[in-house]
Amino acid sequence: MNAQSIQKESWGTAKGKEVSLYTITNANGMKMQIMNLGCIITSLFVPDKNGELDDVVLGFDNLQDYLNGHPSFGTTVGRYANRIKNAKFVMNDSVYKLTVAGDGTALHGGNEFQDAVWDAELISTENGEGLKFHYLSKDGSHGFPGNLDVYATYLLTKDNAIYITFQAETDKDTHVSMTNHSYFNLNGAKELIYDHKVMIDADTYTEFDEDITPSGKLPPLKGTAWDLSTMTRLGDKIHDIPLNGYHHCYVLNKEAGEMKKAAEVIEPNSGRKLEVFTTQPGITVYASNGLEDITGKYGIAYRPHMAICLETQDLPDAMNHPNFPSTLLKPGEKYSETIVYDFGVVE
């Protein structure tokens, strides 16, 4: 194979619209499968140290399983990633009440973006090929103000990286924080993630209350079981952490808007390496602690600690914490954030 290719197939319908599955393959054999329902990455085949391909993300092999409900496998999350305390915020002297999740918070914007069927356009650049998705979130949707015009671009490069760009504009003051919610297992889900080694470039984190929303404090990570500031084997500490494992938002060591490496993951058995770069100020590390009673692709029974999510994002509940970087988006402004998942092998 000398060039990249994109293939499109019908995967069924949702909400009366056609759902298409797109397969993008580069010259190295790396392959990304993504659909226009939720801009969901359904599969990601990445070479290991011997050039052998494995699917390194969790998900399903059919549309119906996604429609039956799932814990955000591979989704584009919005309008607001992570939790908002008491499912409400105050802005311009008005109280905005949001869709309430089971724990009393607002979670992932009520899953609006992952449940939507997006318009899709094929794109080609010098560096790779991919898709540009478009969705209009209407004023008042899940309680958020403003008609929000959203674009999500997913590009597979010649160098085995995935570039994700989120852009949005609004006609009323609102709050926006988007992310991708892929569940990674760099050994192809052959075993749990305990041998994965992870480093996060952060010295502080968002302390959280019992409902997993921030308290407003940003304490140091040093001395905690969830400090990942140096390369750490996940299995060494994961059982010492409340909530059955990592579920923390790390405040990245970077300037606002700066594109910088946020995380590195190494899986020593396969030799695969994943580096994560972002313009966003935080990254939530979630070790799939609550994953159970789900059968995924290839008949694999998913269970806790089967994968790790690396959700680059604005800080959770930022609209309720003046000391957090602002997530306010006004008319005439453009929300724009970038995530890069750069795959390689350990030298």
160 annotated ligand binder = no
303 annotated ligand binder = no
The answer to whether residue 181 is catalytic is: yes
| Strand ranges (E), 70-224 | 75-77, 83-84, 88-91, 94-97, 106-107, 119-124, 128-137, 148-157, 161-170, 174-175, 179-181, 183-184, 197-200, 202-205
Say which residue the tokens 């992952």 belong to.
114
Separation between Cα atoms, residue 281 and residue 50, nearest integer Å: 35
Marked catalytic residue, from 169, 311, 321, 337: 311
229 annotated ligand binder = no
What's 114's DSSP letter? H
163 annotated ligand binder = no
- Measure Cα distances from 117 to 2, 4, 17 in Å: 32, 25, 7
Separation between Cα atoms, residue 200 and residue 243, nearest integer Å: 20
What's 138's DSSP letter? P
The answer to whether residue 175 is catalytic is: no
Marked catalytic residue, from 181, 248, 305, 321: 181
Separation between Cα atoms, residue 186 and residue 191, nearest integer Å: 10
Cβ atoms of 123 and 129 within 8 Å: the answer is yes
Binding-site residue set:
82-83, 181-183
Binding positions for beta-D-galactose are 82-83, 181-183
Active-site positions read 181, 311
